[in-house]
Amino acid sequence: MNIVLLEPEIPANTGNIGRTCVATNTRLHLIEPMGFKLNEKQIKRAGLDYWKDLDYVVYDSYEDFLKKNNYPKIYMATTKALKPYTHVKYEPDCFIMFGKESAGIPEEILLSNKENCIRIPMVGNIRSLNLGNSVAIILYEALRQNNFEGMKLQGELHTHKWNEV
């Protein structure tokens, strides 16, 4: 899987998303300009000690991202979409893009990808969910649809066994 952040602004969100990407073996694509530097303390704090294990790529622009990834099919997560994120079939190596926290993905990009725009349903006049939460919701749906390929599906107790009564 591939998560794409278009011009992220808040380092803590990107750090949390990076940690989620490490936990799911997902590549993180970061498109400039960003509202922070990758060596900032906040991003490291949110990503904990997982940041060193993160598979990520930084691009100069949206066009640079498109060219270097051979113009991939991209699911665009936006509050402006007409269909829920659960109404698409995610490919194992798909790209899921999220826009910057203050404005989302620009409408001209959405319009040129309208068949791949998806949204997380919400009630009322809520503008949006936190970016890290939105990434986790949609990424885990994509992973579920692909049977959590390569992921550990069972946990273990430290001092007991699950079958003990």
Q: In this predicted model, what pLDDT tens digit does every residue of 47-102 receive, in sequence order?
A: 667 778 999 999 999 999 999 999 999 999 999 999 999 999 999 999 999 999 99
pTM > 0.75: yes
Query: 157 Cβ partners below 8 Å, 6+ apart?
Result: none
Indicate whether 43 pLDDT > 90: no
Whether residue 128 contacts residue 98, with contact meaning beta carbons closer than 8 Å, is answered with no
Say if residue 120 carries a ligand binding annotation. Answer: yes
What pLDDT score was predicted for residue 163? 81
Q: 14 exposed, middle or buried (CB, 10 Å; 0-12, 13-18, 19+)?
A: buried
CATH number of 2-145: 3.40.1280.10
Other C-beta atoms closer than 10 Å to the C-beta of 133 total: 15
Helices (DSSP H) in 2-130: which residue ranges?
Answer: 11-24, 41-47, 62-68, 107-111
How many Cα atoms sit within 13 Å of 65 on the Cβ side?
25
Say if residue 128 carries a ligand binding annotation. Answer: yes
Q: In this predicted model, what pLDDT tens digit does every residue of 107-164 receive, in sequence order?
A: 999 999 999 999 999 998 888 899 999 999 999 999 999 999 998 998 989 888 888 7
Distance CA 149, CA 110 (A): 29
Indicate whether 41 pLDDT > 90: no
Confidence label for 12 from pLDDT (cuts 50, 70 and 90) = confident
Say if residue 102 carries a ligand binding annotation. Answer: no
